[in-house]
Structure 1
Amino acid sequence: MSTQNYLVISALGKDRPGIVDALSKSILEFGCNITDSRMTVLGGEFAILLMVEGNWNTLTKMEESIAGLEQQLSLTIIAKRTEQRDRSNPFLPYVVEVVSLDHPGIVHQLASFFSKRSINIEDMATTSYAAPHTGTMMFSVHMTVGIPADIHIASLRDEFMEFCDAINLDAIIEPAQR
């Protein structure tokens, strides 16, 4: 049985240099280790998700210090205990790339397509941008999905491409490079 315990930390605050430095230093000082993270700037806000591992005592001390860290770092912080991910159900990681004219509902339509097929969205990043030369607003989606091993990939790819054609999305779906 593993002696490691896990804490997922979400932090949000006004973007400025040094946030990652200060937060990672605090985690290290508690004797914990960052095992996975995602961070980005959205508008003027900085957002970070971290999975931190440590023994039960170090994570408990860290949880008890969240209010102080929030004040010290001027961040809104949420922490939640978790466990290592269950990998007993095999899945195939695939990358999905989509580009289209920007309009409401694209993320929902994609999420619905995969959800109806019991395909989990593992990671997703989206962005809006002005197309070169024309300035037309475009939208791009990059996601990694976990496809259950019992799904016929060629059929899924055909269904996905037809789905995207029907709603005017340019898309690819291909195996993730490890």
Structure 2
Amino acid sequence: MTAFSNHQIVLTAIGEDRSGIVSELTQLVSDCHCNIIDSRIAILGNELTFIMLLSGDMSAISRIEHTLPTKGMELGLLTMMKRTSSHNQSEFCAGYTLEYTGIDTPGTLSKVTRFFADNNINICSLKSDTYEEETELKMRCELEFNIPVDVDIDQFKISFENLSHVLNVDYIFRRIR
């Protein structure tokens, strides 16, 4: 076990998107002797959302917990932190992406995520947005997920085919692992 893997913390920062924020935050992480294990950035409206999973020894994690609030205020960011532990991977037989598109209809994403929950499949990653095409507002979504060993992937795909007809969406499954 390395010194970086002792403790972990999830850090989230949200604020107006402007040049230099990511650099300031990653420098703070480095100055506190933490390591960035995983991270995501999204621009939603005019807001930047930056999520990081950090690791470090107890001293490093404590240092980031004490310095981030002040740095966040200096940068005009709303920040949150939560200590965590390493993710335990469940046994799965394959990983997939699901991409679907259709006319933007309220409740579609909710119904798709409910379908996954009802099938005991955890979503690893989700990205959705809307766009205009030929004067219609369309939606698109990409989900990444792992199929547990006890789930019949063929039956899952057939069931999703039925749901796609109800929701009037086009979709494609891709195996990624």
Q: Smaller-chain TM-score range?
A: over 0.9
CA distance in 1, matches of 2:105, 2:51: 27
What's the TM-score, normalizing by structure 1?
Answer: 0.93
CA distance in 2, matches of 1:21, 1:128: 29
Q: Is the 8 A contact 2:36 2:53 kept in 1?
A: yes
Matched, 1:54 2:56: yes
Partner residue in 2 for 1:164: 164
Match of 1:90 in 2: 91
Gaps in structure 1 of 5+ consecutive residues? none
- Asked if the contact 2:108–2:167 (Cα under 8 Å) also holds between the matched residues in 1, the reply is no
**In structure 2, how many angstroms separate the alpha carbons of the residues matched to 1:45 and 1:157?**
36
Unaligned 5+ runs, structure 2? none
Question: Using the alignment, how far apart are the partners of 2:56 and 2:75 within structure 1?
Answer: 22
State the number of aligned residues.
Answer: 174
Cross-structure match for 2:13: 11
Q: How far apart are residue 164 of structure 1 and its match? A: 0.6
**SS in structure 1 of the partner of residue 151 of structure 2:** coil
The Cα shift of 1:142 comes to: 0.5
Report how far residue 135 of structure 1 moved: 2.4
Q: State the alpha-carbon separation in 2 of the partners of residues 85 and 2 from structure 1.
A: 16
Structure-to-structure mapping, 1:1-178, within 5 angstroms: 3=3, 4=5, 5-87=7-89, 89-91=90-92, 92-131=94-133, 134-176=134-176, 178=177
Letter in 1 for 2:120: S
Give me the TM-score of the superposition, normalised by structure 2. 0.94
Report the alpha carbon displacement of residue 66 of structure 1 after superposing the two structures with TM. Answer: 2.3
User: Pairwise CA RMSD of aligned residues?
Assistant: 1.3
- Cα distance in structure 1, aligned partners of 2:75 and 2:35: 19
